[in-house]
C-alpha cells in the first residue's frame, strides 16, 4: 500500500489584533464581495480576515491594502500607533 504524503502545514502567525477591525473600518461602504473579487478570495475569507480569525501571507499585503483603498504608509502609521 502506498501512503499519501501530506505536506506539513506551518502555522501562520496570528494577525495583529487590530488588523481585522482596521480593515473592516477602512472598507467603508464597499461590500465584502467587492473586496473578495479584487483579491480573488471567497467572501468568507474576507469575513474571517476582518474578524481576526484568519491572516494572509505578508506578500499579499500590498494587494490587500490596495483592495481596501489603503496605502503602505497608512499601514505603517497604524502599526506604529498600535505598538
Q: Residue 1 pLDDT more than 70?
A: no
pLDDT of residue 75: 94
- Residue 19 has a pLDDT of 94
For residue 5, is pLDDT > 70? no
* C-alpha cell recorded at residue 34: 467587492
- Are 46 and 36 in contact, with CB atoms under 8 Å apart? yes
DSSP assigned state of 14 = P
pTM of the full predicted structure? Answer: 0.80
> In this predicted model, what pLDDT tens digit does every residue of 17-73 receive, in sequence order?
899 999 999 999 999 999 999 999 999 999 999 999 998 988 899 999 999 999 999
Residue 55 phi, psi (nearest 5): -115, -175
Amino acid at each position: 500500500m502506498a501512503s499519501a504524503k501530506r505536506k506539513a502545514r506551518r502555522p501562520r502567525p496570528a494577525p495583529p489584533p487590530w488588523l481585522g477591525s482596521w480593515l473592516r473600518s477602512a472598507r467603508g461602504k464597499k461590500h465584502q464581495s467587492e473586496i473578495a473579487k479584487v483579491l480573488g478570495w471567497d467572501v468568507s475569507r474576507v469575513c474571517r480576515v476582518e474578524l481576526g480569525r484568519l491572516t494572509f501571507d505578508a506578500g499579499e499585503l500590498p494587494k490587500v491594502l490596495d483592495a481596501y483603498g489603503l496605502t503602505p504608509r497608512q499601514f505603517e502609521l497604524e502599526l506604529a500607533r498600535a505598538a
